[in-house]
Structure 1
Amino acid sequence: MPVDPRTPVIVGVGQFTERIDDPDYRGMSAVELATEGVRAALLDTGADVTAVAQAIEVFAGLRQFEICTPFNTPSLGASDNYVRSVAQRVGADPARAVLEPIGGNGPQKLVTEFAGAIAAGDIEVALILGSEPGSTAKYFATRDDKPDFTEHVGGQLDDRGYGFEQYMSEYTANHGLTGAPVQYGLLDNARRGRLGLTVDEYRLAMAELFAPFSKVAAKNPFSSSPVERSVDELITVTDENRMICDPYPRLMVARDTVNQGAGVLVMSVAAARRLGAAEEKWVYLHGHADQTEQGLLDREDVSVSYSAKQAVAEALRVAGVGIDDIATFDLYSCFPFPVFAVCDDFGLAADDPRGLTLTGGLPYFGGPGNSYSLHGIAETVAQARDKPGTFGLVGANGGVMSKYSVGVYSTTPADWVADRSKALQQDIAALPKVPVTRNANGPGVIETYSVRYDWSEVTGIIIGRLAADDSRFMAITTDYELLALMTGGDPLGAKITVAAGDDGINRAVLT
């Protein structure tokens, strides 16, 4: 059916991966990896690559880990304008370059944002790009022949800031929440408590969720770790599958030692026709939504995700379909919790015959920082093209289940429909907040927990409730008896005594 010529369509997607055991492994930079992904996306349009590149008005990039905070300097140097460095390499000179804050929701958020700008007539062509050179950094860490990836290209850049302050505070960092595994460990253990499962039962459930992901990754040519893993492999702790942060052995944790790049090209129907983009490859963004969660310690129930629930529901509503109408899913899977959160709310089983990933998931396909879901979108577009008329859903998660963005894709032509994300955000803003006691003293109970095995001293990380007023607090522990319970038993609901230190850190012991 005819659509408005301003309707946005995905016309090109591209991915690139180099593995450290590849015979032609180069140890590429972030710019080089993104460039390969963008070149693949340009070729995928079926149009004149030079003409398409020159028509791109906006290049929007995702941050790599090495430029996610102002506190670190990239060990091998970096471009002063990552986005324009990539643009120059593909012969483009966009009017606008954008660098998004950190967050794995960023790829879908940017696709939705600039698709909306195209529908509004503000622009006609936009490119979303991302990459992660974690493998390169690790490869050259102990070598003498280090490359220098420093570039000075200057030019306009809409730098939207780092954004890490949305996910952590001095208080949470002082109490050990300085990495994603421990943060998500708190969420998964809280969910285990809500479901009434034992430690062993929950580990089995996580493995049964993720083993099928590894099977998909094993067949994906862009996977960083194309190895199928059994349930037994995932639950058995070994030297290779060591504990990282409770409840996760290494093989259930997002793989950040990757070299991956991707690009997604969006343009109006009018521009696609003018530039000659192959119409049989057009994919429409039928549904979309973005939601932001409360801060971690504010949430009344840390075992659920209101933002994921509302974003998925709204994207489905905008698309005019239900969850049963979705043919493919790619749900963000840095750890089990983000997948479980969506499954819980929409009745999806771990063994749903449609599958829950197209890439193979972050622990196996690879977790290229903030840009993972660009790969999820690329795979969803490819699947939609293979099965015209079907619908694919991408769920992209950022922070500590802090932001969730959803896209619903199909080859079926459809005009752009605005979502109600801003209005729905008021529902989350209206949720009750749990009072927090920063300097906690006295008896309490463990609400949820994790254990950091990745520190030099094994340390327990606790979110608890004070017996006096049921306010929430954070604490750490190296107490022998409490650690024994946290590593070899089940501490949920255990009675503890907490004391605030002069250093601003609360420390807990078993009562």
Structure 2
Amino acid sequence: MPVDPRTPVVVGVGQFTERVDAPDYRGMSSVELATEAVRAALSDTGADEVAVARAIEVFAGLRQFEICTPFGDPPLGASDNYVRSVARRVGADPARAILEPIGGNGPQHLVTELSGAIAAGEIEAALILGSENGSTLKTFAGRDNGPDHSETVGGQLEDRGYGFEQYMSEYTATHGLTGAPVQYGLLDNARRGRLGLGVTDYRHRMAELFAPFTRVAAKNPFASSPVERSVDEIETVTVENRMICDPYPRLMVARDTVNQGAAAVVMSVAAAQRLGVPEAKWIYLRGHADLTEQDLLDRVDLSVSHAARNAVAEALRGAGTGVDDVATFDLYSCFPFPVFAVCDEFGLQPDDPRGLTLTGGLPYFGGPGNSYSLHGIAETVAQMRDRPGSFGLVGANGGVMSKYSVGVYSTVPAEWAPDRSEALQADIAALPTVPVTRHADGPGTIETYSVRYDWPTTTGVIIGRLAADDTRFMALTEDDDLVALMTGGDPLGATIAVKSTEDGVNRATLA
């Protein structure tokens, strides 16, 4: 059916992976990886690649790990303008370049934002790009013969900041929440407590969730670890599958040592027609939503995600479809919890015949930092072209289940429609919160926990409640008895003694 010529459509997608075990491995830079993906996306439009590149007014890039904080320089150097370095390599000179803050929600957020700008007539064409060179950084760490990825291109750049301050505070960082595994370990153990499951049973369920992901990764030519694994292999702790942070062995953790890139081209129907993009390439963003969760310690129930639930529901509403009618899913899967959070709310099962990933998931396909879901979008676009009339859902997660962005894609034409994210965000802001005590002293109980095996001394990380007033607190422990319970038993609900210290860390012992 005819639509407004300003209606946005995704017209090109591209992916690229450099595997460390490839005979021609050379350790590419973030710019080089993204460039290969952008070239693939331009080619995928089926139109004149040079003309499409020149028509793109906005290039929007996702921030890589090597430039995600101001606290250190990239070990191999980096471009001073990642986005324009890539644009220049493909013959583009966009009027506007954007560098997004950290957060795995970024790919879908940018697709939605720039699609809205196209629908409003502000621009006609945009490109979203992302890459991660974690494999290169690890390969050449500490070596004198590493490549120099420094590059000076200058030019306009809308740098939206780092954004990590949205995901942690001085208080949480002081108490060990300086990495994703421990943060999500708290959430998965809270969910285990809500379900009343033991440690072994819950680990089995996590492995059952992820085993089907490995089958998808094994068939994906862009996967960094294309190996099918059994439930037993994923759940059994071995030297190879060592514990990272409780409750996760290595095979349940996002694989961030990857070299991967992805890109997507979005333009108006009018621009697509003018540039000669075949209509068979057009994919409509039929539904969308972007929501932000409460801060971690404010959440009454650490085992659920209101933002994910409401964003998925809103995107489905906008698309005019329901979860039962979705043909494909790609749910963000850095750890089990983000997948479980959506499954719990919408009745999805690990063995759903539709599958819960199109890539193979972050632990197996690869977890290229903030740009993972751009690969999910690329796979969804390809699937929708092959399955006209179907709907594909992408769920993109950032922070500690902090931001959730959803897109529903289809070949079925429909004009752009705004979502209700602003009103839904107000609902989340109105949710009750839990009072937090920074300097905790006295008896308490363990609400949820993780264990950091990646520190020199195995350390327990605790979110608890004080017996005196039920306020929430954080604490660390190296107490032999308590650590033994946390690593070999089940400490949920255990009584502990907590004491504040001058260095700002609350210390816990088994009561």
Give the structure-1-normalised TM-score: 1.00
CA distance in 1 between partners of 2:441 and 2:104 (Å): 36
What is residue 296 of structure 2 aligned with on the other side?
296
Matches of residues 361-510 of structure 1 in structure 2 within 5 Å? 361-510=361-510
Cα displacement string for residues 171-217 of structure 1 (whole angstroms, at most 9, x for unaligned residues): 00000000000000000000000000000000000000000001100
Matches of residues 13-92 of structure 1 in structure 2 within 5 Å? 13-92=13-92
1:111 aligns with 2:111: yes
Cα displacement string for residues 272-308 of structure 1 (whole angstroms, at most 9, x for unaligned residues): 0000112111100000000000000000001000000
Matches of residues 140-159 of structure 1 in structure 2 within 5 Å? 140-159=140-159
Where 2:327 maps in the other structure, the secondary structure is strand
1:10 aligns with 2:4: no
One-letter amino acid matched to 2:421: S
What is residue 248 of structure 2 aligned with on the other side?
248
What is residue 277 of structure 1 aligned with on the other side?
277
One-letter amino acid matched to 1:289: A
Identity rate of aligned residues, in percent?
A: 81
Matches of residues 196-345 of structure 1 in structure 2 within 5 Å? 196-345=196-345
Displacement of 1:69 after TM fit? Answer: 0.6
Displacement of 1:361 after TM fit? Answer: 0.1
Q: Where does structure 1 differ by over 2 angstroms across 4 or more consecutive aligned residues?
A: none
Where 1:6 maps in the other structure, the secondary structure is coil
One-letter amino acid matched to 1:101: P
Where 1:173 maps in the other structure, the secondary structure is helix
CA distance in 1 between partners of 2:274 and 2:289 (Å): 29
Where 2:261 maps in the other structure, the secondary structure is strand
Cα displacement string for residues 205-256 of structure 1 (whole angstroms, at most 9, x for unaligned residues): 0000000001100000000000011001011111110000000000000000
One-letter amino acid matched to 2:480: Y
Where 1:32 maps in the other structure, the secondary structure is helix
Where 2:98 maps in the other structure, the secondary structure is strand
Matches of residues 157-172 of structure 1 in structure 2 within 5 Å? 157-172=157-172
CA distance in 2 between partners of 1:307 and 1:35 (Å): 33
CA distance in 2 between partners of 1:327 and 1:94 (Å): 35
Cα displacement string for residues 435-484 of structure 1 (whole angstroms, at most 9, x for unaligned residues): 00000000000000000000010000000000000000000000000001
CA distance in 2 between partners of 1:13 and 1:424 (Å): 30
CA distance in 1 between partners of 2:398 and 2:510 (Å): 34
CA distance in 2 between partners of 1:138 and 1:298 (Å): 36
Cα displacement string for residues 412-453 of structure 1 (whole angstroms, at most 9, x for unaligned residues): 111111100011100000000100000000000000000000
Where 1:464 maps in the other structure, the secondary structure is strand
Structure 2 residue runs without a partner (length 5+): none
Displacement of 1:145 after TM fit? Answer: 1.4
CA distance in 2 between partners of 1:354 and 1:510 (Å): 46
Cα displacement string for residues 99-139 of structure 1 (whole angstroms, at most 9, x for unaligned residues): 00000000000000000000000000000000000000011
CA distance in 2 between partners of 1:426 and 1:96 (Å): 31
Cα displacement string for residues 5-53 of structure 1 (whole angstroms, at most 9, x for unaligned residues): 0000000000000100011112000000000000000000000000000
What is residue 189 of structure 2 aligned with on the other side?
189
Where 1:200 maps in the other structure, the secondary structure is helix
CA distance in 2 between partners of 1:151 and 1:277 (Å): 33
CA distance in 2 between partners of 1:425 and 1:109 (Å): 15
Displacement of 1:156 after TM fit? Answer: 0.3
Displacement of 1:141 after TM fit? Answer: 1.2
Structure 1 residue runs without a partner (length 5+): none
Cα displacement string for residues 366-417 of structure 1 (whole angstroms, at most 9, x for unaligned residues): 0000000000000000000011000000000000000000000001111111
CA distance in 2 between partners of 1:55 and 1:248 (Å): 46
Q: How many residues align?
A: 511
CA distance in 1 between partners of 2:240 and 2:410 (Å): 40
CA distance in 2 between partners of 1:279 and 1:25 (Å): 37
CA distance in 1 between partners of 2:207 and 2:147 (Å): 39
CA distance in 1 between partners of 2:484 and 2:297 (Å): 26
One-letter amino acid matched to 2:274: R
Displacement of 1:143 after TM fit? Answer: 2.9
Where 1:131 maps in the other structure, the secondary structure is strand
One-letter amino acid matched to 1:300: V
One-letter amino acid matched to 1:16: F
One-letter amino acid matched to 2:337: F
One-letter amino acid matched to 1:280: A
CA distance in 2 between partners of 1:492 and 1:300 (Å): 16
CA distance in 2 between partners of 1:108 and 1:146 (Å): 34
CA distance in 1 between partners of 2:142 and 2:308 (Å): 41
CA distance in 2 between partners of 1:187 and 1:264 (Å): 32
One-letter amino acid matched to 1:231: V
Displacement of 1:142 after TM fit? Answer: 3.8
CA distance in 2 between partners of 1:14 and 1:502 (Å): 52
Displacement of 1:144 after TM fit? Answer: 2.6
CA distance in 1 between partners of 2:458 and 2:336 (Å): 23
Where 1:171 maps in the other structure, the secondary structure is helix
One-letter amino acid matched to 1:114: L
One-letter amino acid matched to 1:50: V
What is residue 121 of structure 2 aligned with on the other side?
121
Give the structure-2-normalised TM-score: 1.00
